[in-house]
Structure 1
Amino acid sequence: MHSHENTARLMPDVATQAQPHLRGALDWVGMDGIEVPVRFDAGDGEVQRASAQVGAFVNLVHPDRRGIHMSRLYLLVDRHLGAGGPLDAKGLEALLHAFLESHQGLADRARLSIRFDALVRRGALRSGHSGWRSYPVSIEASAGPDGFRLELGTEVVYSSTCPASAALSRQLIQEQFARDFAAGRPLDRAAVLAWLGSEQGIVATPHAQRSVARLLVRLKDGVPFDLIDTLDRVEKALGTPVQTAVKREDEQAFALANGGNLMFCEDAARRIQQALDADERLADFHVRVEHQESLHPHDAVAYASKGVPGGFGS
């Protein structure tokens, strides 16, 4: 009976065989959708366990080599992520270098993508209640001759009320007021208050829609992940992030926030741009704002970036 070592030595490995009729270097080769548990600290010191989808890739620099060692990438992902500590830059860089060491002579660049959801506790606006919000997280890391690079992506969902629609609504309310309270007649305060609280008085309301800001930030060297800080900055800048637990006082506060934060998609993109530009932890960022319009079937979209040379906005 053969030992494991002898059996493995006898097994054919066609990936190592040259293919003279199919030559060509490849940008990336690997696997995507690897299922693995990861540990992640969103920035509050509490390490969560999440189910992640991982992509692991190296380039193939030799045009005459048929393929790479996919199983080596899988086992390294399992060893470093599935049984490792919380995700951090140092650990991800070490994993990428392990990819390259396992493919010496075949590859000089490695890439890793990790996708999962992080739960963050969010407080209500007024009632004192709280609830969980699930934020999608994507981590992209790469290593090669140009060094190590790390990017963090997430999304913020918020409400956006159209400034143009608000102005048009106010005009209609003014016109209705002029009809109901004729010029030259004394105004009765109680009557005006009753009118303001009636559907007959407030004849129009501005349209609002659920909106999404998709963020991609590039961290400076040595900076730890802090998802919650990034979310707090963006949600504070927008003023109207979607809520979790909602009582009537929270809903009223949300209506007030919408009225005080009228915004086109351009306004939202610039608010986020200013908020992230003030974050000294970030080397670069890219923002895509999407207002999923309730007025028409197409969306309003704006993009913004930090504007560094050679960065996301180039």
Structure 2
Amino acid sequence: MYTPENTARLLPDVAIHAQPHFAGALDWVGMDGIEVPVRFDAGDGDVQRASARVGAFVNLHRPDKRGIHMSRLYLLVEQALSTQTLSAVMLHQLLRGFLDSHKDLSDRACLSIRFEHLVRRPALRSGNSGWRAYPVCIEASLTGDDFLIEFGTEVVYSSTCPASAALSRQLIQDQFAKDFDAAASLDHAAVLAWLGSERGIVATPHAQRSIARLRIRPTAGAGFDLIGLIDRVEGSLGTPVQTAVKREDEQAFALANGSNLMFCEDAARRIQRVLDADDRLGDFHIRVEHQESLHPHDAVAYASKGIVGGYSGDRC
């Protein structure tokens, strides 16, 4: 007879039964897209709470076992991430918990966490400010005592093509030659008025929204200095996208674009230089993407720190 006291022993667990005809070790087994809140300090001491999607996995090295205990992974993730601020120490402990809960099944564990972090960014001139949501991806793995952690984000900026700028300047010169007789003396007021007219800017260089995708392996104890990383990268590029924009901000942005002409190769090298100078970054990988307005395909460049055993530049 069924009673509340014997409910647990009546629940079947088919996962514990081996299926010899399907035997085989598995690289990773687990769950992806777990919905859970996370607490994150981006380096400014302000711990924000965000909605995250989490992947939690262990390997299954026992070919005679049918499956893992997914509920154990879920409960460990939920308990840790919803109550503790993200840190390397906490993630190491969480992955160790994955393995301790699967002692007879697994010897490797990994975790991925994806969310957005809001950062207030100032306008260029007006004194206003607005919010930017930067995507954050944190990945960690544990194999024996070998713990690896990395995090990534994206910086969106504007890039103006140097070749297009040179071609535009040539057309402006041609228009000037048509409108002003080389043999006549130039009238300052007339030239100034011409420069402020549409004839004085008959061609404009093409610019496009561009994205720098970054993957970072911080040194031990460095933490997740997301805001510091963003500041350095945006500072090296000079033209990050803006939030609150008045006319004086838009004009300053136009000036910055004209002063920061860059191919995707230039952008990748600028970022590489500032990241290479940061001793808190053990390794990094950069993917720069200029979403061209001239043609339907993108211009792309990659760069890395170039250390032995680090991110490889051999393949994209």
| TM-score normalised by length of structure 1 | 0.97
Distance in 2, matches of 1:104 and 1:191, equals 84
Question: 1:255-287 CA deviation, whole Å, 9 max, x = no partner?
Answer: 000000000111111111111111111111111
Query: Are 1:230 and 2:207 matched, yes or no?
Result: no
Aligned-pair distance for 1:16? Answer: 1.6
Give the structure 2 partner of residue 49 of structure 1.
49
Give the structure 2 partner of residue 206 of structure 1.
205
The ranges of structure 1 where at least 4 consecutive aligned residues each deviate by more than 3 angstroms after the TM superposition are: 1-4
User: Does the CA contact (< 8 Å) of 1:292 and 1:298 recur in 2?
Assistant: yes
Aligned-pair distance for 1:107? Answer: 0.5
Aligned-pair distance for 1:44? Answer: 1.1
Query: Are 1:58 and 2:58 matched, yes or no?
Result: yes
Q: Percent identity?
A: 75
For residue 92 of structure 1, what is the amino acid of its counterpart?
L
Distance in 1, matches of 2:114 and 2:253, equals 31
Query: Are 1:97 and 2:96 matched, yes or no?
Result: yes
State the superposition RMSD in angstroms.
Answer: 1.1
Give the structure 2 partner of residue 186 of structure 1.
185
Aligned-pair distance for 1:47? Answer: 0.8
Q: Report matched runs for 1:27-38 at 5 Å.
A: 27-38=27-38
For residue 48 of structure 1, what is the amino acid of its counterpart?
Q
Q: Report matched runs for 1:255-274 at 5 Å.
A: 255-274=254-273
Q: Which moved more, 1:17-26 or 1:155-164?
A: 17-26
Give the SS at the match of 2:19: coil
Query: Are 1:299 and 2:308 matched, yes or no?
Result: no
Aligned-pair distance for 1:14? Answer: 1.6
Give the structure 2 partner of residue 19 of structure 1.
19
For residue 229 of structure 1, what is the amino acid of its counterpart?
G
For residue 309 of structure 2, what is the amino acid of its counterpart?
G
Give the SS at the match of 1:54: strand
Give the SS at the match of 2:194: helix
Q: Which runs of 5+ in 2 are unaligned?
A: none
Aligned-pair distance for 1:8? Answer: 2.3
Distance in 2, matches of 1:252 and 1:93, equals 48
For residue 53 of structure 2, what is the amino acid of its counterpart?
Q
Aligned-pair distance for 1:7? Answer: 3.0
Aligned-pair distance for 1:183? Answer: 1.3
Give the structure 2 partner of residue 77 of structure 1.
77
Distance in 2, matches of 1:302 and 1:33, equals 30
Give the structure 2 partner of residue 129 of structure 1.
128
User: Does the CA contact (< 8 Å) of 1:304 and 1:313 recur in 2?
Assistant: no
Give the SS at the match of 1:209: strand
Aligned-pair distance for 1:306? Answer: 0.6
Q: Which runs of 5+ in 1 are unaligned?
A: none
Give the SS at the match of 2:59: strand
Give the structure 2 partner of residue 39 of structure 1.
39
Aligned-pair distance for 1:200? Answer: 1.1
Distance in 2, matches of 1:279 and 1:16, equals 50
For residue 71 of structure 1, what is the amino acid of its counterpart?
S
For residue 12 of structure 2, what is the amino acid of its counterpart?
P
Aligned-pair distance for 1:219? Answer: 1.0
Distance in 1, matches of 2:139 and 2:218, equals 11
Question: 1:54-113 CA deviation, whole Å, 9 max, x = no partner?
Answer: 00000001111111000000011111112x221111111110000000000210110000
| TM-score normalised by length of structure 2 | 0.96
Aligned-pair distance for 1:10? Answer: 3.7
Aligned-pair distance for 1:144? Answer: 1.0
